Structure 1
Amino acid sequence: MADGARIVCRIFGGGERALLLLHGNGEDHTCFQKQFAAFSERFRVIAMDSRGHGESSAGSGVTIAKIAEDAAAVLGALGIERASVVGFSDGANAALGLALSHPGMVEKLALAGANLFPAGVKPRFQLPAELEYRALRLCGRSSERLRRRAEIVGLMVEEPRYTPAMLGAISAPTLVLAGDRDLIRPAHTALIAASLPHAKLVTIPRSDHWIFDRQPVRVNREILAFLG
């Protein structure tokens, strides 16, 4: 990337249609390890390590907007003009950013555990992140490693900053997924689905936020049926 960040991705399968996978906060592409086989039977799957995660470097810093731009750059570098995008948690938030900034690149969206703003997260999950972020920012004054960690945690505290009205500009058909015990407030997930012009909401039973790992058979089936 122009700011010096090195973005690493891995490719599975050789289908004519492209499918970009964007993982959540503090993870890497392996959070989709239970999806690679199923998805790559039909798609050319691009699994990206977001900047500051996995094997990708942080460059000038980590924000949701920069992750979205990195995703567009990865697709461009691979010669992919249009792809469907599956995003989990912060990856879902970045997928929304990609659909807003590069609408022509997005065919369909599957968003799991997305939020429009930090208050969409249930307090018992959000408060520990806020406390950790404050401590890391303080300690990061004397430690580059902790400063970088603060940037990652800060994605959950300071971002994203979308509005329901912004989502009205997204024309891509969208599947909105969440666990029935998700850390995202159910009403907030419903707001996301209601704000997208062409959205379908599916709640995965007996599952928390980590539906790709905990309920892979059901999740894979829902996403593949939606993508067609």
Structure 2
Amino acid sequence: MFTDRETEKEFCLYYTEKGEGMPLVLLHGNGEDGSYFVHQMDFFSREYRVIAVDTRGHGQSPRGTAPFTLEQFAEDLKYFLDVNGLSKIILLGFSDGANIAMIFALKYPEYLKKIVLNGGNLRPSGVRAGVQLPIVLGYAMVAVLSLFDKKLRRKKELLGLMVTGPHISPEELLKLGVPTLVIAGTKDMIKASHTREIHESIPDSRLCFLEGSHFIAGEQPEEFNQTVYKFLKEK
């Protein structure tokens, strides 16, 4: 959905791509851009057409005038796929990217062949308290300061994504029929019990914990890539 001031023709997401074959679309986390997946681009481009997208207001993608929400980002992704003639893709999302992927999958499952969810959460309480509390306090402080300093408005929006959402229903995920890999770090900022809840809510999904933090795709790229690759090759 686009606002009256922002038409579809005016809004374009920035992306980089490498390789040929089945499209593998990568969605980064909060405050990042597609370059987060540098190790995945090189590895998977040997067999797939890998496309790393910068989310609205991240990296080189414009902020635009539409709402700065995960739901809007999912709509942006649909428009991006339609414009580029992409369908039956593999979607790999990290952190907020995983949340966008779940929202997108629930609304547009026909676009997806497989999904990889790395470090996603269904609701803010899925984040460990020691991580979430500073985010909430930071958001409250920035929300006040942004009234006097316009430069802080972007920071407010980014923190707001983690404070006000997501709100994804486990009951809705039970209806998802797309093959899914749920993957997280053993020391992830997402509670292990919450990651298991996502896995248990998606029928016939796979679950994997790799040694490391929230950022296992960068910390353990070989193990991460091989785990994802094995899943992608499953029939």
> TM over 0.5, yes or no?
yes
> TM-score, normalising length from structure 2?
0.93
- Corresponding residue of 2:62: 57
Is residue 8 of structure 1 aligned with residue 14 of structure 2?
yes
- Corresponding residue of 1:201: 207
Would the aligned equivalents of 1:129 and 1:157 in 2 still touch at CA under 8 Å? yes
User: 1:16-165 counterparts in 2 under 5 A?
Assistant: 17-59=22-64, 60-165=66-171
AA of the residue aligned to 1:41: R
Unaligned runs of 5+ in 1: none
AA of the residue aligned to 1:137: A
Inter-partner Cα distance in structure 2 for 1:7 and 1:132: 28
- Corresponding residue of 2:215: 210
Matched residue SS, 1:35:
helix
How many residues are paired up?
A: 226
- Corresponding residue of 2:191: 185
Per-residue CA deviation, residues 68-125 of structure 1 (Å, 9 max, x unaligned), is 1111111111111220100000000000011011110011000010100000000000
Would the aligned equivalents of 1:112 and 1:178 in 2 still touch at CA under 8 Å? yes
Unaligned runs of 5+ in 2: none
Per-residue CA deviation, residues 154-208 of structure 1 (Å, 9 max, x unaligned), is 1111110012101112110000001000010110000000000121000002x01
Inter-partner Cα distance in structure 1 for 2:38 and 2:28: 11
Is residue 175 of structure 1 aligned with residue 181 of structure 2?
yes
Matched residue SS, 2:39:
coil
1:61 shift after superposition:
3.0
Inter-partner Cα distance in structure 2 for 1:83 and 1:133: 35
CA RMSD of aligned residues (A): 1.2
> TM-score, normalising length from structure 1?
0.96
Matched residue SS, 1:108:
strand
Inter-partner Cα distance in structure 2 for 1:99 and 1:14: 24
Would the aligned equivalents of 1:20 and 1:47 in 2 still touch at CA under 8 Å? yes
Inter-partner Cα distance in structure 1 for 2:173 and 2:153: 32
AA of the residue aligned to 1:10: T
1:65 shift after superposition:
0.7
Would the aligned equivalents of 2:12 and 2:80 in 1 still touch at CA under 8 Å? no
